[in-house]
Every structure is written in C-alpha cells, then in structure tokens.
A = this chain, B = another copy of it.
Amino acid sequence: MRDVEDPSEPAVGVHALPSPYLLFLGDVTEPGFAKTALGLRDWAGDRCIGEHALPAATVSTGLPRLTPAEAAARGARAMVIGVANQGGVIPPAWVPELLAAIEAGMDLVAGMHRRLRDLAPLREAAARAGVRLHDLRVPPADLPVATGRKRSGRRLLTVGTDCALGKKYTALAIARGLGARGVDATFRASGQTGIMIAGRGIAIDAVVADFAAGAAELLSPDAAPDHLDVIEGQGSLFHPAYAAVSLALLHGSQPDRFVVCHEPGRSHILGVPGYAVPPIEAVIEQTVAAGRLTNPDIRCAGISLNTGRLDAAAAAQVIAETEARLGLPAADPIRGGDAFDRLLDACQG
C-alpha cells in the first residue's frame, strides 16, 4: 500500500486493508443486512477487535462494543462498514460515526456502490487526519493487461452454475480446511466481502473489461511450488450478463483445479427470466474448454453443494447421487464430514 495524502486516490495494484478492524453495524435490525459483519466475525475473527453500532441497532456480532476512540486505543486501524443498506447508500445518521472513526485515526472500508470518497465531509476529514477511504468497488488504478504468462505455485478456483450460491464460502472453507491439514494455502478474494475477509484483493466485476484478466493475474502472484491459492470465483460462464467476469477470472487465475458450486433444486438463473441453471456436467465441460487456454492441466476437483434448503437426509442423498453420477467428490462444506474430507483430498491432489 502507498502512503499518500489524498484519500480519494485509488489504490495501485491489489487493494490492501490495514487491520485490526472495528465492525460498523449502523442501525441494523435485520441479520440478513449484517451478512458482511457476521462473515468477518466468522472468517476473519482474528482481525476483528470489536463492533460499533447506533443505539437503534438490534443485531450484534457478539464482539465487544467499542466506540471508535476506544477501538483505536486498542489498536484498531480501520472501521469496516459491515452492513448493507437499501440501495447501497450511506444514511445521514451514519456520517457522524464515520467521522468519529476518521478522527480517531482509522481508515474506512466500504464495499457499497455509493462511494465514501463521494461524500465531501468524509473526504475532507480523511485528508485532514491522514487516513484512507477504501471503496472496494473502485478497482485499483493502473491495472495491467493480462500477459498469459504461467505463474509458479498451484491454484484452485471456485466456479458456479449460477451467482450467489456459495463460491466465496466454498473457497474460504477449502482454504481453511487445507490450512488445518498443514497445506500452505491462501484464500484470494475477487469480491468486496472477500476482500474485507482476506484483507486484500480486487473486485473483478468492477474492472474495465480489457483489464479484468490482468487484474485476476495480479490476484494470485507467483508463489512457492507447493503453495496453493484458493481463488474466490465470480458469476458463471452460463450467466448472460456476468459470464465475461467469470471468463476473465478463469483465464487470469490459470487454475490447476476447480470446484463447481451448485445449489440443488435451483432451476433458474437468479434474476434472469428464461435462463435455466445448467447441469454441473456442462459447467465442467465449458470450464475445461475455456480454462485450458491458460492452463492445459486444468481439471475439476469436485463439487460443492449448497444444501441449506434440504434436511440432513435429503442433503446426504443429493451428495451421494452427485458423487455417483459424476465420479467426483461432492460435499456441502457447511455440513463437512467425510464427504468434505474427500473433496479436500481432491483439492490437494
């Protein structure tokens, strides 16, 4: 990260966030809107020092409640906006709290479409305090065009039959599971929540198309031969709006292995009338066909099934059926168990 005075300048290269974090919950009363804060608690707990909320908030992460000044005194270096708001705006009631964090010397981190830097009071306060405003949906400046050069180290990418069915969760669970086995594995974030969890990354979907594969190359740099980058996927090659994002990430990641994420029972692409969710087989075929351009050794390690809507028996059945049909390990990482162990074996192999 650069040391610059102008908080409105975008980062160069990959976004890198200072930590520990204070999680800002605003006035949230609906746990669904606090998904980001709860995810940070679960996946980056060692980087979260506490939470800060307005009196009206009823949702809590269970972390200590701290004012920005208290958090800063305990070493917090950034306050992360951990709640989504209708329309992605920043309500006026939040502004004094954001200013308090800035004045306590903390950076601000947000993944909303509305940019922190577009609010003059925040921009001016940040410049005065010498802290940065991290708008994770603003891509870093000066991204390179992809070179296609083969990088050292190993890579695994999560891909999907659709959006929003567990590609980030699967990548986190695989990185954590392999880490617990002693594998040198790093989660690599390609979306805003993932970036907050990892502390670094690039929101690939916000990058200009010409540079999207180049951004994906930056995301997983050269590494030791047995190091494994576990890269968070985006979109789906079968999504009529977002397939380009998925392809750029596939080409730039040059993965050796990929895991297909799928939600049994979901029949239609979210929000796109007339488009069926493709069979897992078709996703494997298209991912190999496109991915071998930058890595001829690409192959499918297995399947991650999001069985959250099924009971335990139905989940076990669909996992077993998928394994038998495809001849590949299948598991729901949230349910874990032997199935997930077999999926981890395949990710290592």
Contacts and interface: CB of A to CB of B under 8 A. Distances in A.
Interface stretch (A35-43, A243-251, A306-314, A326-334): A243-251
Given A286-B290, A289-B289, A290-B286, A145 B241 contact: yes
A207 B205 CA distance: 11
Nearest to A207: B209
Interface string A266-283: 000000111100000000
Contacts of A345: none
Contact of A148 (B149, B275, B286, B289): B275
A216 B260 CA distance: 28
B209 A240 contact: no
B247 A243 contact: yes
Contacts of A248: 209, 243-244
Between A150, A251, A274, the greatest number of chain B beta carbons within 10 A of the residue's beta carbon is seen for A251
A317 interface: no
A146 B242 CA distance: 8
A204 interface: yes
A24 interface: no
A99 to B, nearest CB: 30
A206 B206 contact: no
Interface residues of A, number: 36
Contacts of A150: 274
Contacts of A212: 209, 244
A244 B294 CA distance: 13
A208 interface: yes
Given A149-B274, A208-B208, A272-B147, A213 B289 contact: no
Contact of A293 (B204, B207, B210, B240): B240
Given A206-B208, A208-B208, A275-B148, A293 B238 contact: yes
A214 interface: yes
Given A148-B272, A148-B275, A149-B274, A294 B205 contact: no
A148 B208 contact: no
Interface string A189-213: 0000000000000001111111011
Interface in A145-164: 145-150
Contact of A247 (B145, B247, B275, B289): B247
B210 A242 contact: yes
B204 A147 contact: no
Interface in A294-309: 294
11 contacts: A149-B273, A206-B209, A207-B209, A209-B245, A212-B244, A213-B242, A213-B243, A213-B244, A240-B294, A275-B293, A286-B290
Given A205-B210, A206-B209, A208-B209, 5 more contacts: A146-B241, A149-B274, A205-B209, A237-B290, A289-B289
Interface of A: 145-150, 204-210, 212-214, 237-238, 240-245, 247-248, 251, 272-275, 286, 289-290, 293-294
